[in-house]
Amino acid sequence: MTIDELQQKAKLLPSLPGIYMMRDSLGNIIYVGKSKALKKRVSSYFGKTIKDEKHKMKRMVASIVSFDYQETDTELDALLLECKLIKELKPIYNSLLKNDKRYRFIEINREAELPRVNVAFEKGDVGEYFGPYDIPYRLNIGVEAINSYYKLPLCKKRVQKKECLAYRMKRCIGPCQEEKAILIDYESRLQEAAHFLEGKDLEILTYYEEKMQMASERLEFEKAVQYREYIAVLKMLGYRKEAIGFSLDNRRGIALVKIPRGGFKLYLLRGTQIVYTRCFEEIAAPVQKEHKQILQKAILEAGDKYFKQRLQSKKHLEKGEVDEAMITYYYLKTKRESCYEVIEENDYGKVQKRQINQFLNKAFKNFQ
């Protein structure tokens, strides 16, 4: 198919969540992607905007002769299916385009002339790397917040002039002074930054929360907004460790996710592992009392079977399991289209029925 033919085919796609698979002239799948609006996303590959893309992207588009797609109920389903297919099929351009698309790392390279926290597009041979993170446009904000809190250098190279402006303003600890006490403190701060990125030290969040509160009280709203943004991104950086811990805990939970074509999808989970799903496309806002009763009954009946299964606990997760845990945890924690609740660990009875009722009230209040 020509680019024009591919573009026309893309225009016929639904504006719904799903995955798409690009194929070359031999029929090989060379790229797998996902979108919450297939028509818009796939069309973007064959439009004029592709001229502004990077060389690898242009090369991939030039290789496409056809594509397949598969609708999913929700964006969460699309994310998980994309992850699964990439692991199974290993399309060549998912590897080549991974860094160009959205993934970044945070790097602390102690062998640099002036080590600090940096954003990196890929892992190097030296240094500590954290991630990958798929928040490319906000990751720089997080790095700025970390360097500012630990007063790490703003410069990449040492300067001959002592007591630069950043040092005098107490924005940098001043390793260029080359004083023994400062260098020891400098090394300690680099280690503390690494501990935060490992999820071991969260004092930085408390610090910025206090700064935001003080700025608000002083009516310094621009500063308050900046600190709020710092806090939001720093919390995102901690999701990886949280997701792994949450998955290993294996606590049971319930989620309702809006279906774009109408209705809701019910998910029952153990940790971040989805053990049961069911769509209720007939239930739409405003939710009626009988709708809540239908959902409550469905949850109790399904939960009685699935939640009582004792899944084998794990001490660690494989890489593929970490990816899926991150996807599920991040989606349920951040997306407005979803509502999630942990259910207490005891046999089904009045307590669970009350919890489920509370969850449904909360969910539909959020979805109004």
pLDDT per position as a tens digit, 68-80: 999 999 999 999 9
Question: Per residue in 180-237, pLDDT tens?
Answer: 888 888 889 999 998 888 877 788 999 999 999 999 998 888 999 999 999 988 887 8
Q: What is the pLDDT of residue 345?
A: 61
Per the CB < 8 A criterion, the answer to whether 67 and 6 are in contact is yes
Q: Which burial class, exposed, middle or buried, applies to 11 when counting CB atoms under 10 A from its CB (0-12, 13-18, 19+)?
A: exposed
Q: What is the pLDDT of residue 53?
A: 52
Q: What residues in the chain have per-residue pLDDT under 50?
A: 50-52, 99-101, 348-351
Q: What is the pLDDT of residue 242?
A: 75
Per the CB < 8 A criterion, the answer to whether 239 and 333 are in contact is yes
- Rounded CA gap, 250 and 314, in Å? 9
- Rounded CA gap, 206 and 235, in Å? 11
- Rounded CA gap, 45 and 55, in Å? 13
How far is C-alpha 353 from the geometric centre of its chain's CA atoms? Answer: 32
Per the CB < 8 A criterion, the answer to whether 130 and 106 are in contact is yes
DSSP 313: P
Which domains are delineated in the chain? 3-101 (3.40.1440.10), 104-237 (no CATH), 242-366 (no CATH)
Q: What is the pLDDT of residue 262?
A: 87
